[in-house]
């Protein structure tokens, strides 16, 4: 859109429309509501366990029973979806990552428990091998390289086990080539026509994932970096090509990740494709706001709402954010 010419001052005074809350309400261009959130939660073994994560103040790992309570609370707040990330027992991490498609793994147990207790909340699950991989990578490592095609075969097994457990939204966060097409074909073939794919289409090799790797226990395990499969933060055209590719292979929704440093990518994606577009406000972004607020350096609530509004302004239909319940409580008054 071309910015229209404004009348010269004093005929035009922009401050007229900023005078009162009523006028500001009337001219607000974007809205933020609890229906915009997907809440990422961390699952661990045990019963009755709620364990804080040091690098993410206010975020906890929960055992399955506590995840069900959290899902119930999220649903009551009007949050449409939770996204599960398992903190896997290090003893179950192997080179073949077989735990990833174990029907009884933490993610699948949590999915079934939530769908039993709170059937109306959507459950999103993560497709990638890093929580199960002895070396912390999202795919199989051969001679120091994360191999693509063999990884995609494993991701298909993982996604099918998630669909069988009742996952509504499958989120491949692995960045292998060709996985969206392979997953879509496998889901169709197995009768899971209505399982949706939210592709982490433009996922960057980012320093902002650090606290997440602590939260899922992958930090110690990870050898090297993820630059051979995640995107170079310097690229934008490539993000458009990846999104186009994933849509052509059957993605229903696309994601840009991280969020705040990549709002230009969100806007460009929404303008180019007009499809349901999400941003992931990742762990490091959360930690910057929550950590600074904890020290009294910023007003945490205001910074949270401002950051979430920025995603909507940039064209995002929704936001994966650890702030989801806190923001929902404020938005619900
Ligand atoms: C890995 C995965 C990561 C996140 C979600 N899935 C980290 C990574 O790629 O190393 C990051 C989320 C966050 O930082 O909040 N498959």
Residue 81's CATH number: 3.20.20.70
What pLDDT score was predicted for residue 4?
72
Query: Does some domain include residue 24?
Result: no
What pLDDT score was predicted for residue 220?
78
Query: Does some domain include residue 25?
Result: no
Instruction: Verify whether residue 257 is a known catalytic residue.
Output: yes
Query: Does some domain include residue 14?
Result: no
| Ligand 1: residue whose CA is nearest its atom 14 | 209
Nearest atom within ligand 1 for CA of residue 222: 10
> Is the CB of residue 55 less than 8 Å from the CB of residue 287?
yes
| Ligand 1: residue whose CA is nearest its atom 6 | 173
Which residues have C-beta atoms less than 6 Å from ligand 1?
Answer: 126, 128, 130, 138, 173, 209, 212-213, 226, 282-283
Distance (Å, whole) CA 206 – CA 184 = 27
What pLDDT score was predicted for residue 137?
95
Per the structure, the complete domain to which residue 193 belongs is given by 32-331
> Is the CB of residue 232 less than 8 Å from the CB of residue 204?
yes
Helix (H, G, I), strand (E, B) or coil at 253: strand
What pLDDT score was predicted for residue 1?
62
> Is the CB of residue 139 less than 8 Å from the CB of residue 176?
yes
Query: Does some domain include residue 5?
Result: no
Query: Does some domain include residue 72?
Result: yes
What pLDDT score was predicted for residue 74?
98
Query: Does some domain include residue 74?
Result: yes
**pLDDT-flagged residues of the chain (< 70):** 1-2
Q: Determine the distance separating the centroid of ligand 1 and the alpha carbon of 274, expressed in angstroms.
A: 25
- Ligand 1 pocket test: pick from 131, 212, 214, 228 the residue with the most ligand atoms within 8 Å of its Cβ: 212
HSE, CB side, 13 Å, CA atoms: give it for residue 218: 26
Query: Does some domain include residue 271?
Result: yes
What pLDDT score was predicted for residue 251?
98
Neighbours of 267 (CB within 10 A): 16
> Is the CB of residue 41 less than 8 Å from the CB of residue 323?
no
How many domains are contained in the chain? 1
Q: Is the dihedral of CA 128, 134, 136, 140 positive or negative?
A: negative
Distance (Å, whole) CA 107 – CA 159 = 11
Instruction: Verify whether residue 223 is a known catalytic residue.
Output: no
Q: Determine the distance separating the centroid of ligand 1 and the alpha carbon of 259, expressed in angstroms.
A: 12
Summarised one tens digit per residue, pLDDT across range 143-182 is 999 999 999 999 999 999 999 999 999 999 999 999 999 9
Summarised one tens digit per residue, pLDDT across range 232-248 is 999 999 999 999 999 99
Query: Does some domain include residue 233?
Result: yes
What pLDDT score was predicted for residue 222?
87
| Candidate list 115, 203, 226, 270, residue with the active-site label | 203
Going by their DSSP bridges, the two strands 141-142 and 60-63 should be labelled as unpaired
* Single pTM value for the model: 0.97
Distance of CA 294 to the CA centre of its chain: 24
What pLDDT score was predicted for residue 149?
98
DSSP string, 209-236: GHHHHHHTT-TTT--S-STTTSBPTT-S
């Amino acid at each position: 859109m071309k910015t229209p010419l404004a009348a010269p001052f004093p005929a035009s005074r922009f401050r007229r429309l900023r005078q009162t809350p009523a006028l500001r309400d009337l001219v607000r261009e974007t809205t933020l509501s609890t229906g915009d959130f997907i809440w990422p939660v961390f699952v661990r073994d045990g019963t009755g366990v709620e364990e804080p994560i040091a690098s993410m103040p206010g975020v906890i790992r929960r055992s399955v029973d506590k995840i069900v309570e959290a899902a119930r609370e999220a649903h009551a707040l009007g949050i449409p979806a939770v996204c599960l990330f398992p903190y896997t027992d290090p003893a179950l991490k192997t080179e073949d990552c077989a735990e990833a498609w174990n029907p009884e793994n933490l993610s699948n147990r949590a999915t079934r428990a939530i769908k039993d207790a709170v059937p109306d909340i959507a459950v999103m699950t993560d497709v990638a091998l890093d929580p199960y991989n002895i070396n912390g990578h999202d795919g199989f490592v051969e001679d120091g390289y994360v191999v693509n095609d063999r990884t995609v075969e494993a991701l298909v097994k993982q996604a099918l086990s998630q669909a069988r457990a009742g996952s509504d939204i499958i989120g491949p966060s692995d960045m292998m080539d060709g996985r969206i097409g392979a997953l879509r074909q496998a889901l169709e073939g197995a009768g899971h026509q209505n399982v949706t794919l939210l592709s982490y289409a433009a996922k960057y090799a980012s320093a902002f994932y650090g606290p997440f790797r602590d939260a899922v226990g992958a930090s110690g395990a990870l050898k090297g970096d993820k630059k051979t499969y995640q995107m170079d933060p310097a690229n934008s055209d490539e993000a458009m090509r990846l999104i186009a590719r994933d849509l052509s292979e059957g993605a229903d929704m696309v994601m840009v990740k991280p969020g705040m440093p990549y709002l230009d990518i969100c806007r460009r994606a929404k303008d180019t494709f007009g499809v349901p577009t999400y941003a992931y406000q990742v762990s490091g972004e959360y930690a910057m706001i929550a950590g600074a607020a904890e020290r009294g350096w910023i007003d945490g609530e205001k910074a949270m709402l401002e950051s979430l509004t920025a995603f909507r302004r940039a064209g995002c239909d929704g936001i994966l954010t650890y702030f989801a319940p806190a923001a929902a409580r404020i938005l619900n008054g």
